[in-house]
């Protein structure tokens, strides 16, 4: 009989039911798309923040990193890193979070600062650099010069210059706003040959996707218990990733580039807070929509409930029947909404970040369950009220 009741009632007033299902579907779609976007926006913004450059710099231990403000440099030290060791960086626990590895070797040509680089890697780590002309090829006689140095030496694009005794053609002028503007960039291999340091580099710039630092991250790893250290090591803080790189490449020093690493933590925290807030607002409004809808529907059906009571239906049976009906409507609306919501989330991800959003397959099911629960919750109070009233007084109002 229960089945017959529910089937019958679903068939009656189909337009009304369809509207209710549609409204529940919309609420579920909002909830799904919000949660979908919120849960992945952190990752998306993190990737966006990588255009700020490397957040970890690796140098040989006790080496000096050439470079400095203005035209004064410290002497190049003797700490070198074997080029063959570089791929080991990709093999650390957080290897998949490393989005760029740019090795370089510094050299001096009298007063000119030269840097041997892997152009493709350098471009990956510094996508924001602006280049007039084009990026140099790694296996070629090309070189790139910084805007500052080319102005001072009066060099032009496509000009042939001599660096470290060998000719090269300027393929592009870099304007970055940092050290590269005062350097000549040559392919790494050439500098290694010309400076007589084959097979080594003295600096690796690493761009990694990290988690903002909190108090736990700042603890000294040497003072941690084994369990704490495990947790610290397995979280992608910039300091733990740097630590892992040092372990993978013995004899090196891996340090966070504070200007980039600290700041991105702050930005990520704020964006996360903002998104969480908006999601809460959305979930609340979606929940309210569904709640008020089922509450209204239940108020309207007081007459029906009164009649069922009058002909002898027990309160629990009526509650069960109506509850089932609402659950089914909620379930249907939830399914339609959840999958529409997944589509909406992908749409937002694609249009804003030009990248697919990864949605956990659990999410739609959680939303469907929530839709059913909220629908039932909304109907609960009016239903209870209606059941407690005398059928006669309700029926006298007019069905």
- Residues 61-120 within binding reach of another protein (CB under 8 A): 62, 64-65, 67-75, 77
Chain centre distance of CA 316: 49
| 49 lies in the site for another protein, by CB under 8 A | yes
The 3-state DSSP class for residue 214 equals: coil
What per-residue string of b and e applies to 18-38 under the rule 16 or more CB within 10 Å gives b? eebbebbbbbbbbbbbbbbbb
Give the footprint of another protein on residues 168-197 (CB under 8 A): 175-179, 181
Which residues inside 319-358 make contact with another protein, applying CB under 8 A? 344, 348, 351-353
Residues in 119-148 at the binding interface with another protein, rule: CB under 8 A: 126-130, 147-148
- In Å, the largest CA–CA distance within the chain is 106
Determine if 156 is a binding residue for another protein (CB under 8 A).
no
Q: Is 235 in the site for another protein (CB under 8 A)?
A: no
Task: List the one residue from 24, 34, 98, 168 that touches another protein (CB under 8 A).
Answer: 34
Task: Figure out which of the listed residues 30, 117, 332, 386 binds another protein, where binding follows CB under 8 A.
Answer: 30
Contact (CB, 8 A) for 52 and 259:
no
Please tell me the distance from the alpha carbon of residue 94 to that of residue 40, in angstroms, as a whole number. Answer: 19
- Residue 147, CB-side half-sphere exposure with 13 Å CA sphere: 10
Are the beta carbons of 334 and 367 closer than 8 angstroms?
Answer: yes
Segment interacting with another protein (CB under 8 A) among 22-30, 184-192, 222-230, 320-328: 22-30
Nearer to another protein, 190 or 333 (CB): 333
Helices 226-233, 238-248: axis angle to 10 degrees equals 100
* Helix or strand (DSSP H, E) at 112: strand 112-117
Contacts of 397 (CB under 8 A, 6+ apart): 303
Of residues 270 through 299, those in contact with another protein by CB under 8 A are 270-271, 273-275, 277-278, 281-282, 284-286, 288-289, 292-293, 295-296, 299
Among 6, 42, 43, 48, binds another protein (CB under 8 A): 48
Q: Which residue has the tokens 């190049």?
A: 76
Shortest distance, CB of residue 322 to another protein, whole angstroms? 19
**Minimum separation from the CB atom of position 159 to another protein (A):** 19
* Residue 124, both tokens: 């990956």
Task: Output the smallest distance, CB 199 to another protein, in A.
Answer: 24
> Based on CB atoms, which residue is closest to another protein, 324 or 395?
395
On whether the CB atoms of residues 174 and 146 are closer than 8 A, the answer is yes
In this chain, which stretch among 1-9, 42-50, 111-119, 190-198 interacts with another protein, using CB under 8 A? 42-50
For residue 261, state whether it binds another protein (rule: CB under 8 A): yes
Of 156, 219, 231, 258, the one binding another protein (CB under 8 A) is 258
Measured from the CB of residue 267, what is the shortest distance to another protein in angstroms?
5
As a whole number of angstroms, the distance between CA 172 and CA 185 comes to 10
């Amino acid at each position: 009989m229960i089945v017959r009741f529910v089937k019958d009632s679903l068939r009656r007033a189909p337009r009304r039911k369809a509207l209710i299902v549609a409204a529940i579907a919309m609420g579920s779609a909002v909830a799904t798309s919000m949660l979908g976007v919120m849960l992945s926006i952190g990752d998306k913004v993190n990737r966006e923040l990588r255009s700020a450059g490397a957040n970890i710099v690796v140098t040989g231990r006790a080496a000096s990193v050439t470079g400095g403000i203005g035209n004064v440099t410290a002497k190049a030290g003797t700490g070198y890193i074997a080029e063959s060791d570089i791929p080991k960086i990709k093999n650390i626990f957080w290897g998949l979070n490393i989005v760029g590895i740019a090795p370089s070797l510094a050299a001096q040509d009298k007063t000119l600062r030269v840097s041997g680089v892997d152009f493709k890697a350098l471009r990956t780590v510094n996508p924001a650099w602006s280049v007039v002309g084009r990026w140099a090829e790694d296996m070629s006689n090309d070189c790139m010069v910084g805007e500052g140095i080319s102005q001072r030496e009066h060099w032009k694009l496509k000009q042939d210059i001599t660096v470290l005794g060998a000719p090269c053609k300027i393929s592009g002028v870099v304007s970055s706003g940092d050290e590269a503007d005062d350097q000549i960039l040559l392919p790494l291999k050439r500098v290694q040959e010309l400076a007589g340091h084959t097979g080594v580099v003295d600096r690796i710039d690493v761009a990694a996707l990290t988690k903002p630092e909190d108090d736990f991250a700042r603890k000294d790893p040497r003072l941690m218990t084994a369990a704490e250290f495990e947790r610290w090591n397995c979280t992608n803080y910039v300091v733990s990733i740097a630590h892992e790189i040092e372990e993978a490449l013995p004899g090196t020093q891996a340090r966070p580039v504070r200007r980039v690493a600290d700041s991105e933590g702050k930005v990520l925290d704020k964006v996360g807070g903002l998104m969480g807030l908006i999601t809460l607002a959305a979930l609340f409004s979606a929940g309210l929509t569904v709640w008020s809808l089922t509450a209204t529907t239940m108020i309207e059906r007081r007459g029906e409930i009164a009649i069922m009571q009058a002909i002898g239906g027990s309160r629990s049976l009526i509650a069960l029947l109506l509850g089932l009906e609402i659950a089914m409507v909620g379930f249907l609306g939830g399914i339609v909404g959840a999958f529409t919501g997944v589509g909406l989330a992908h749409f937002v991800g694609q249009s804003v970040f030009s990248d697919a959003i990864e949605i956990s397959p659990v999410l739609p099911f959680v939303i469907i369950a929530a839709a059913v629960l909220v629908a039932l919750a909304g109907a609960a109070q009016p239903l209870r009220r209606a059941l407690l009233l005398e059928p006669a007084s309700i029926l006298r109002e007019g069905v």
